[in-house]
């Protein structure tokens, strides 16, 4: 079965790095407040939700007073490190992003621990994305070149080949081995180039990409609890296993769209933005 397991999280960090350059225009205090309200507040809320899946009494006994339980738990590790990378990017905004990626590459070579290597790989992805953004590698620039169609075909071939190779391997630690890292980055480049050209040609794709980009945090934070609920219900109802993937994808996507539609309205807004700085909350208090 084809899988994007070694590629999807590095790609998310590359895209985050591309978008993070805009944050560097903010003043440090403004950026710190923005990260606290829009990243770490929902991180804490959804961490509490995640930890409570073990049962409320267990949560109170073991997790509520254990500080380490709140550090990058489960699928929320991405949000935890995303906030850190954004703040570090602003702190080091005077240093070219590509040079930071090179330093992290040296660190990747120096450390043998899987946990450290994972952080270095994702840091490289983030700052490589920032370097791409700083170089203004836009879709329009790509399309001005006569070899655009060849680029699409070549990048598609790289994506397919990389996925086939990854599918034939034991995936534990794949993305953190030297040749696996090279394959991961080449695949990410293929995905980004293909998407940028398709985005340039299709207005429908543009609207879809912009919608997903605006609500990416909503989809990411909500998808795992929704999938757990769907799997629990499917198991209870004895749904055939070959339907599980379609149910998980379809229901989590549909539910994510509903939540995204309601994200600016309390109380849904409180799950994604610190309430007292939420513009809608200020309007409600005025009334």
Buried b (16+ CB within 10 A) or exposed e, 47-65: beebbeeeeeeebeeebee
Residue 178's pLDDT is 54
Residue 143's pLDDT is 46
**Of 99, 49, 89, which is closest to residue 70 (Cα–Cα)?**
49
Q: Which tokens hold the place of 153? A: 């075909």
Question: Which residue bears the tokens 């791409």?
Answer: 132
> Tens of pLDDT along 89-147?
988 888 888 888 888 878 777 776 656 677 887 888 888 878 877 665 444 454 454 45
End-to-end CA distance of the chain: 55
Handedness of CA 259, 73, 42, 31 (dihedral sign): negative
CA distance 252 to 280: 26
Residue 278's pLDDT is 47
Residue 2's pLDDT is 39
Contacts of 253 (CB under 8 A, 6+ apart): 219
CA distance 202 to 106: 40
245: enclosing H helix or E strand: helix 244-262
**Of 281, 280, 270, which is closest to residue 46 (Cα–Cα)?**
270
CA distance 251 to 223: 9
The pair phi, psi for residue 250, each rounded to 5°, is -65, -45
Residue 213: burial class (beta carbons within 10 Å; 0-12, 13-18, 19+): exposed
Residue 37's pLDDT is 92
**What residues of the chain score a pLDDT lower than 50?**
1-4, 137-140, 142-143, 145-146, 167-172, 174-175, 278-287
CA distance 173 to 239: 32
Quick check: 169 and 56 in contact, CB under 8 A? no
Handedness of CA 40, 181, 166, 150 (dihedral sign): positive
Quick check: 259 and 221 in contact, CB under 8 A? no
CA distance 76 to 43: 7
């Amino acid at each position: 079965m084809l899988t994007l397991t070694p590629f999807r999280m590095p790609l998310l960090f590359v895209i985050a790095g591309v978008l993070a350059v805009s944050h560097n225009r903010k003043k440090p205090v403004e950026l710190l407040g923005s990260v606290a309200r829009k990243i770490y507040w929902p991180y804490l809320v959804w961490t509490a939700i995640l930890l409570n899946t073990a049962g409320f009494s267990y949560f109170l006994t073991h997790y509520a007073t254990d500080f380490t339980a709140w550090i990058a738990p489960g699928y929320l590790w991405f949000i935890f490190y995303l906030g850190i990378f954004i703040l570090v990017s602003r702190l080091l905004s005077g240093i070219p992003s590509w040079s930071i990626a090179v330093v992290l590459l040296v660190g990747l070579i120096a450390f043998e621990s899987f946990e450290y290597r994972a952080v270095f790989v994702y840091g490289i992805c983030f700052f490589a994305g920032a370097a791409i953004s700083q170089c203004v590698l836009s879709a329009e620039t790509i399309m001005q070149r006569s070899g655009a169609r060849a680029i699409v075909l070549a990048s598609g071939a790289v994506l397919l080949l990389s996925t086939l190779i990854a599918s034939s391997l034991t995936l534990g630690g794949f993305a953190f081995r030297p040749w696996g890292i090279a394959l991961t980055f080449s695949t990410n480049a293929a995905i980004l180039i293909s998407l940028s050209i398709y985005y340039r040609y299709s207005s429908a794709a543009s609207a879809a990409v912009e919608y997903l980009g605006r609500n990416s945090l909503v989809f990411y934070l909500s998808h795992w609890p929704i999938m757990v609920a769907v799997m629990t219900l499917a198991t209870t109802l004895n749904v055939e296993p070959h339907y599980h993937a379609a149910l998980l994808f379809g229901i989590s996507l549909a539910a994510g769209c509903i939540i995204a539609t309601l994200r600016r309205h309390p109380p849904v807004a409180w799950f994604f933005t610190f309430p007292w700085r939420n513009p809608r909350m200020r309007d409600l208090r005025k009334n």
